[in-house]
Amino acid sequence: MTERAHGAREAERSNILGTISIRHASTSDVSFVSKAILDGARDGHFDISQTIDAVQATNEMIISQGMLAKATENGELLWVDAALWVAEKNHQLAAFMVCSREMPGSEKIEVLVLYTSQHFRRQGIARRLVRHAFQEYPNTLMAHCFGKSTFAMLVFEGLGFRLVAVTPERFTYELVR
């Protein structure tokens, strides 16, 4: 193959695969993320019983303060470190992930939400987001998935997470380094 033909083939491949970038979410991403969370909850993938305003406020808190309020089993609210990353493909919002500490001071990091827009699925974007979390959090990553979330389960299993618990409500995956 000539150098020119090789260059054309690489350019075509780059166009098909596109450029994927991961960054911390900004306030301009809040409506995309919030709508996706509510749509996912409506479809049975997430357990959210909040209004759009409450979801947006939570996302804004994660973005601006790096914190998230989590309720304990007895209803007590605890503040934990949290992060919201978005993935863009060819400069279009394609996916996002919300992570937080399981509890204050815990080394376990929980993937709370992993979402990819339908148009961008099966392109490795969710895997890239989870791999990004591996880099940011070198300890244990865990995720809870509802039975309907087969997409997320496949991502976690494909990255080496182990299924550690199953309840009627959810599947729990964990990756320990």
- Give mean pLDDT, residues 63-88: 86
- Residues in Cβ contact with 133 at an 8 Å cutoff, skipping those fewer than 6 apart: 85, 97, 99, 109, 111, 141
- Tracing tokens 């509890």 back to the chain, one arrives at 103
Q: What is the structure's pLDDT at 48?
A: 63
Q: Distance between CA atoms of 82 and 110, rounded to whole angstroms?
A: 9
Q: Which of 122, 116, 88 is nearest to 18 (CA)?
A: 88
Model pLDDT for residues 90-101, shown as the tens digit of each residue = 888 999 998 888
Query: What average pLDDT score do residues 103-116 get?
Result: 85
Please give the pLDDT value at position 101: 86
- Residue 1 CB burial class (10 angstroms; 0-12, 13-18, ≥19): exposed
Q: What is the token pair recorded at 30? A: 């809040």
All domains of the chain in start order, with CATH:
18-175 (3.40.630.30)
Q: pLDDT at position 23, please?
A: 92
Highest mean pLDDT among 5-9, 110-114, 140-144, 172-176: 110-114
Task: List the Cα angle 158/159/160 in 5-degree steps.
Answer: 95
Q: Is the pLDDT of residue 174 over 80?
A: no
Higher local confidence (pLDDT), 174 or 58: 58
What is the arithmetic mean of pLDDT over 17-27? 85
- The pLDDT confidence band at residue 88, using thresholds 50, 70 and 90, is very high
Per-residue model confidence (pLDDT) at position 43: 67
